[in-house]
Amino acid sequence: MSRFPFVVPHYWCNAALKVQGKIMTPEQCRAARAMVAMSQGDLASATGVAKRTIAGFEMGQSSPYARTIAALRDALESAGVEFIAENGGGAGVRLRKNT
């Protein structure tokens, strides 16, 4: 039996990720993959997320669960990508500086 007697809408989860700074736009996902030369298939293998889900998200055709976006973002961060928050200049991505 679930701890909660109701289903939590996925947009509540996305709102929680925004608070934690774990949001990622489809454009950021595409750009991040390109920066580290990772295909959709590579990202799918690294995260266990279906390639079809990644493709739909990047094309703006679907809105994955917050935990799915977090998994994608975590894998891209592990590969060396930094996500830049929307702070007036627009959201973006860059490669992490090696120190």
Number of neighbours of residue 70 by Cβ within 10 angstroms: 19
Give the pLDDT band of residue 21 (cuts 50, 70, 90): low
Domain layout of the chain by residue ranges = 26-95
If you write DSSP's letter for every residue of 28-85 in order, what string do you get? HHHHHHHHTT--HHHHHHHH---HHHHHHHHTTS----HHHHHHHHHHHHHTTEEEEP
Check pLDDT > 50 for residue 19. no
pTM score of the predicted model: 0.77
Domain 26-95 sits in which CATH superfamily? Answer: lambda repressor-like DNA-binding domains (1.10.260.40)
